[in-house]
Amino acid sequence: MNNTFRKWAAEFAGTFWLTFGGCGAALLSAAFPDLGIGFAGVSLAFGLTVLTGAYAFGPVSGGHFNPAVSVGLAVAGRFRWREVAGYVIAQLAGAVLASAMLLQVASGRPGFEIGGFASNGYGDLSPGHYGLQAALTTEVVLTAVFLLVILGATARRAAGGFAGLAIGLALTLIHLVSIPVTNTSVNPARSTGPALFADTAALDQLWLFWLAPILGAILGAVLHRLLLADSDA
């Protein structure tokens, strides 16, 4: 197996795990109020998928698991542009397969209805019924901060071995803030998988959850290069 294919396989597996674990917590566990995981539990689930995935697959591919992260790292000069397309395709494939498998599992419960299927949205599809402007702002700002955390935690001066922990905790916090607004994307692949199966207008709103995270990632990368890049020295 050549090195490029290994990287694609790692990105596929990591994004599969992020989607299956994070969205699975929302669909399978949070669906039962007596389990008590709520927003906090789902937020932690997403953080844990990135944390564990970073240590399991990061040594092979860098552990992006997110098209916006791949683009942001390329803008920051940490990733080669010619590799972005392959990573994004692998990430999308992982998220779609995870969503399809979640549908198979979730539909095994009597009375299951697809509904929103852990998809992202604004307006009527927002858990808190937040509008387009609020969703756009939230996704751009939080993805920018996520990139800043990733770039800082993986800088050469950063403490070795702790990047996965910092990134996982950052994603947990991001979900705690934004689940009520958009059900939290900051990841176009994670948004695409569930939207393909949701029984709502999630697919019509998917454009926002590509545009906003990618804009946020570019913003984070640019801010890092302008203000913090000397921390890489």
Judged on CB neighbours under 10 Å (0-12, 13-18, 19+), 162 is: exposed
pLDDT at 84: 98
- Which tokens sit at 221? 């990368």
Contacts of 32 by beta carbon, 8 Å cutoff, 6+ apart: none
DSSP string covering 104-169:
HHHTTSTT---TTTT---SGGGSTT---HHHHHHHHHHHHHHHHHHHHHHTSTTSPTT-HHHHHHH
For the stretch 60-105, pLDDT in tens is: 999 999 999 999 999 999 999 999 999 999 999 999 999 999 999 9
From CA 211, how far away is CA 232, in angstroms rounded? 28
Judged by phi (left if over 0) then psi (alpha if -120 to 50, else beta), residue 119 lies in: beta
| pLDDT, tens digit, 9 for 90 and up, residues 158-212 | 776 789 999 999 999 999 999 999 999 999 999 999 999 999 999 999 999 999 9
* Domain boundaries along the sequence of the chain: 3-232
Question: 233: pLDDT confidence band, cut at 50, 70 and 90?
Answer: very low
Q: H or E element: which one contains 100? A: helix 84-106
46, 184 contact by CB (below 8 A): yes
Q: Cα separation of 19 and 103, whole Å? A: 12
Homologous superfamily of domain range 3-232 = Glycerol uptake facilitator protein. (1.20.1080.10)
> CB–CB of 49/21 below 8 Å?
yes
User: Given this model, what pLDDT does residue 158 score?
Assistant: 78
pLDDT digits (tens, 9 = 90+) for 13-43: 999 999 999 999 999 987 777 777 889 999 9
